[in-house]
Amino acid sequence: MSNAAPETTLCARHLTRRFGNRQVIHDLSLELKRGEVLGLLGHNGAGKSTTLQMLTGCLLPNGVERSGCSIEICGIDLLRQPVLAKAHIGYLPETPPLYRELSVNDYLTFAARLRGMQPGAASAALVQTRQRCGLEAVGKEIIGTLSKGYQQRVGIAQAIIHSPDVIVLDEPTVGLDPSQIRDIRNLIRELGDRSSVILSTHLLGEVESVCDCVQIMQEGKLIYGGTTAALASYGGEPGHLEENFIRLTGTQQ
């Protein structure tokens, strides 16, 4: 499968986005290859979630016609052929999109079928995904009765159940306890072997432990892009990820 698929799974060029008169995203370009895990860092309100919404087709960029802006998922243009392109995306928004009145099994099966899986494949994927996300014991439970950590895991499960090529996770480890965070980080690493993962986060430790590359956003612009190792030794101070991050975002203001 990995031989036949194109190497670059996600390619976004010149994205801009305004809400009213406020320019939220300025000319942002991103590229992601298969097997990469990209961490999107930034302060609150830097435009991380807006960027992810655009990459998943929930929000259209401004000026699609003029500025040469494009988003390609596995070579398919998301803006012109949204239905085809979205079949390759798994997305976990900031708030997990859960139907609280459904059971975990029903909900995950719905999510799989919604992404175009056949019933047989969906039930096989359900078993596998529940095992990967540690949801074996709660399959028949109603989602609304689960704890926040379990709900977050169901949210991750719906994003990966159809084995998408591009997985977009908006703050995946919020509300989890330390051991769950470790499990989820392992899962993300594992997912990064076969697909591309983009995750936004505030936690530098998360970036350090799971991401191959980092992009830092500030006020809607990318101000730094490079590998995690490069950021850690940015400016000649190896091993100081946190200081480097604060220095980078501080000097730009």
Partner 1 sequence: MIRLLALRELRSLFAMSSTWFILAVLQFIFAWFFLARLEAFLEVQPQLAQLANPPGVTITVAAPMFNTIALLLMMLVPMFTMRLIAEERRNQTFALLLSAPLSGSHLVLGKFFGLLIFLAVLITGVPLMLYTLALGTAIDHGLLLSNMLGLLLLTASYAAVGLYISALTTQPVIAAIGALAVLVGLWLADIGAAAENSPWHFVSPLYHFQNFNAGLLDSGDAAFFVLFSAVFLLLAIRRIHNNRIYG
Residues that bind partner 1 (CB under 8 A): 19, 53, 56-60, 82-87, 89, 91, 93-102, 106, 110-111, 113-116, 142, 158
Which CB, 35 or 57, lies closer to partner 1? 57
The DSSP bridge partners found for residue 73 are 10, 76
Q: What are the residue ranges of helices labelled H in the chain?
A: 48-55, 82-86, 104-114, 119-132, 148-160, 178-194, 204-210, 228-232, 241-251
- Considering beta carbons, is residue 58 or 127 the nearer one to partner 1? 58
Amino acid at 70: S
Considering just the CA atoms, what is the radius of gyration of the chain in Å? 18
Chain centre to alpha carbon of residue 217: 15
Least distance from partner 1 to the Cβ atom of residue 15, Å: 14
The DSSP-derived string for 177-238 is -HHHHHHHHHHHHHHHHHSEEEEE-S-HHHHHHH-SEEEEEETTEEEEEEEHHHHHTGGG-T
Cβ(78)–Cβ(85) below 8 Å: yes
Give least dist CB 111 to partner 1, A.
7
Is the CB of 85 or the CB of 125 nearer to partner 1?
Answer: 85
Is the CB of residue 64 less than 8 Å from the CB of residue 8? no
Q: Of the two residues 5 and 87, which places its CB atom closer to partner 1 in the complex?
A: 87
Closest distance between partner 1 and the C-beta of residue 45, in Å? Answer: 15
Decide whether 122 or 231 has the Cβ nearer to partner 1. 122
- Residue 86 or 185 with smaller CB distance to partner 1: 86
**Tokens standing for 106?**
């029903």
Under 8 Å between Cβ of 56 and 200: no
- Least distance CB 168 / partner 1 (angstroms): 8
Closest CB 16 distance from partner 1, rounded Å: 13
- Kindly state the smallest distance separating residue 20's Cβ from partner 1, in Å: 9
